[in-house]
Structure formats: C-alpha cells, structure tokens
Structure 1
C-alpha cells in the first residue's frame, strides 16, 4: 500500500525521506530520520519500533547493512515488514519480507534507495531512484521529483491518499516534516505545494530556534 525513498545529500550530509500510501497518515507511522545518523522507512504491515531501532543501531556505529541484518534478527513477524535504511556514508540496505503485499520490489542507487508494496508495476522503485539521480538542487525538491517519477511509472495499484516528507540536517529536530494525512486528490502534489511554501522559510525556522534575535519575520503578528 506504499512506496517511498530514503536519501542523503552528498554535498550537505542532509538526510531525507518521502513516502506515499493509500492508507491515512502514512508518514506518522513510517518515516524516521536522525541528523548525522541516517534515515529509515518502515512500511508494509508497519511495525513502528523498527525505524527507531535501525537508527539507534546506526548511531552506535553500524552501517546500514549491518543495522538491517540486526533488524531482521530482532524484529517480530519480520516476514511481513519492509524496511529501508541509509547511513551517514550514503550506504543503503533494504529488507523486504516475503509476505510483503501485492507487487513489491526495491531499488538502490548512490545515496538513495526506494521500496514499495501493492505497486502498479515492479518498475516503480527503480523509477523513483532514477528520478532522484536525475534531479539536482535541494534535497527536498529532489525527493519530490523522485516521488513524482514513481507516480508517473504507475505508483501504487490503488488510489493514493496520504504522503509525507521528512528532512534532518545538523540540529536535533527535523528541519522539515511536511504531511498530507488524507486527501481524495493527489497527496504528492499536496506535499509539493507545501514544499514550495515551506522551502523559503526553512532556514528562518531553524534560526528562530537557535537565536531568534537573528531570525527574519514574515510580517505576521505572533508568527511562529
């Protein structure tokens, strides 16, 4: 019911994840990232404990491949799970259990990996990876371009209803956590529109947290 990608910006070290599904609020259950550590997508009959577990393992020194192997050992009902991880070096690893739903597959490239289940075709994750590698600019924009490429390749077999994009970079909190938890329109388009609004203000939101005296205002009383 889901397709996603995890990625690293080789220039900045920023990590990001984008995901979409026919299920509601997919990013709330499936998207995990930690600055300086990596990003993890945990999907397909989701176990929300697996994302934090993989990040903890990578924070303690494991690479993505070793972390995913430990997730396989420790996770319950792992044959139903699909977990994607990228580490601080840009290495990726994927576990797709044999009980993943419908058409499911995965793809990997430099600093990026994609996986999905209940897909319209088995070419969707590769289209996502290719879309990311063909893009340039800010990681957030590249994640959206990749998801749009996956959608153009067929996306999920059923209608999409939710999407999310998560970015982490240097500070302990996400610098962007954009979500469309339910829509009868295209949730990837909704996230794209949100990114167009949020991107010009991203640095200002970080600056407000670090030192609000130096942060610009956008002219709204009580602007948060």
Structure 2
C-alpha cells in the first residue's frame, strides 16, 4: 500500500530520504541544496508529496497552482522503484489535490506546465539507473498524458544558484482543451518570470529567450 504524505519541513522524517532520491535521479544543477529547501517547504503554495511504501520513500511529486493565471506547474515527478504503480498513484493524487486547490480559489484551470528532458540532448544523464526515470520513458509518459511542447528554444537558470543556463529540457503545457494548438505568449512570460523569481542570477540565454517570448503574441503547441 502506498501512502501520499506531504512534506512541509526539512525536519520531516522523510525529507532526508527524498533529498537523496532527488540527487540520485537528477543532475546536480537541478537539485536545490538541502538547507535551501527550508523556505520553499514552508511556502503553503508549494506542494511536495512523497509516496511511502513500507516506510520507505519510493517516489515524489512537487507542484503548485497559480489562481491568477489559472495554471498549475509540475515541478517534478520521480519514481524510485519500478512495478509498484508509483507513477499512477502520484498522478491521481496530484490531480485530485489540484482540483481542490482550483475550487478553493474559485477558478477553473486552463492547463499545467512541466519541463521535460530532451533525451537526444540529455543522454549522458543516467538518472540513477532507475528505468522508469529514463528520459525517453519520461517524455513518452508526458506525451501519453497529453502534454505538448511549446515551440521555444528553452533554457532556464540552474537551481544551484550559479546562474548557468540549463538547455537540455523542453517547456511543455498540458491544456485542458486538448485541441489547443497555441498558447498566449504573455501567459508563458508571466509564468516563467514568477516561477524563476527565486533565482536572481539569470544567464544571458534566459534574457534573450524572455525577450523573444515577450515580443510574440502566441507560441505554438507541438507534439511531444
């Protein structure tokens, strides 16, 4: 049996195991340092949940909902062991929680953002040898769910606060209306500016990307 448990403090008994799992799955520039998690976890708008199986952290998901924009963001979904149904478990619990958050804010969500590795640019990342986290698998799973790739040469600032450009990912969007083939560029710009406001060191590639987005009216949504 899997348990869906929210972590709101680095003092939580399961946080250490979660952080180790993050370091196993993701490259260093994508993992926030242990102590730097203190403030985000105390933010009521950031939802970090772990899947616990027989007392062990076997998966996790982080997400948030922006009522003013009517969009959600999946920060990450990680699976530590195969054949336990962890991915489906995290997906369904996240969906239910996001619907509740939207209802509480009196808004109707229009979709959800996510970043996903482009396996043809990220092959050097072994992702801890956990088969379900292979970038090819993860990308196909998001495609099955309904995510579309935003037509954009995407980069983001590294989470190690060094200001490096991380350029091995695509920014994707899961529209409530699956027939949608474009997204308002102003929405993308506002979301990214807010989401990465915690990282003061922005690389030049990021600045140029944001200028491109802000100069556009819409951005195409392409198959993932």
TM-score with structure 2 setting the length: 0.28
TM-score with structure 1 setting the length: 0.28
